[in-house]
Amino acid sequence: MFKSLISKSIQLARATELALPMIATTNIDNKIMLDSIKYHLKDRLDRFYYKL
């Protein structure tokens, strides 16, 4: 069960990371926001795996 959950989490993270650049534009504010979202996503995943 946990293995499946981890696998789904990784797939979601990869899909999200691939989609974010398509959503962002060349605007500097959007780049800063994109970097922030990617940082927080990675941080949350790191915390999730640490708890396992």
d(CA 43, CA 41): 5
Global pTM value: 0.41
Half-sphere exposure of 50 (CA within 13 A, CB side): 6
d(CA 43, CA 31): 18
State the pLDDT at residue 27: 61
Q: pLDDT tens for residues 21-44?
A: 666 555 666 777 788 888 888 888
Structure tokens at 4: 């499946």
Tell me, letter by letter, the H, E, C secondary structure of 16-51: HHHHHHHHCCCCHHHHHHHHHHHHHHHHHHHHHHHH
